[in-house]
Amino acid sequence: MKTIILLLVLITSLFSINISLSKSSNLVSTKALSLELASQAAWVALKECRKRGYSVAVAVVDRSGTLQALIRDSLAGPHTVSTATRKAWTTISFGQSTGILATMLANNKIPNQVQHIKNALLVGGGYKISTDGVTVAGIGVSGAPPGKNEIDSIDGACAKAGIKKIKDILDFAD
């Protein structure tokens, strides 16, 4: 009788362990950028472009490409809102800056069809925001002239300023 009870306890224990393991493998945990940090990065990027004499729009999307923060300077063109959003979305979707993607396209390193994917925009100014090797958001800036090339675009420099401002906070986050 003791053997049967012990066997039942052992089987019940194994069943419980199996359930907890299967539950954990069915759930995925992710890191997300807070609205406060997304907004701070956007404002710093906009102010950097203002310092350079340009009116821009800045968009921050979360890791799934959903718009999280958007600001547009008073004199930024009407196209800048959708362009900034598409740049942020593109960098999240492809895991690479839009300037590098544009250069890869120009050098035939990626298929021509990539530029025709809905919402994709392969021009400089979009960067991913990462911490501890995990992408948590994307930022896109639109409205400044191109700069030297797609990789060294003025929009991109403004986006990098926004990322730099929040990078220390991200790196020390729990």
Spell out the per-residue pLDDT of the chain, length 174, in tens.
Answer: 454 444 444 444 444 444 444 566 788 888 899 999 999 999 999 999 999 999 999 999 999 999 999 999 999 999 999 999 999 999 999 999 999 999 999 999 999 999 999 999 999 999 999 998 999 999 999 999 998 989 999 999 999 999 999 998 888 875
Q: Enter the tokens of residue 19.
A: 């359930």
- Distance between first and last Cα of the chain: 51
Q: What is the pLDDT of residue 118?
A: 95
Q: Select from 55, 80, 84, 83 the least CA-distant residue to 69.
A: 84
User: Check: CATH 3.30.450.150 for 35-171?
Assistant: yes
Q: What is the pLDDT of residue 84?
A: 98
3-state SS class at 76: coil
Distance between CA atoms of residues 164 and 52, nearest Å: 17
Q: Enter the tokens of residue 94.
A: 């492809």
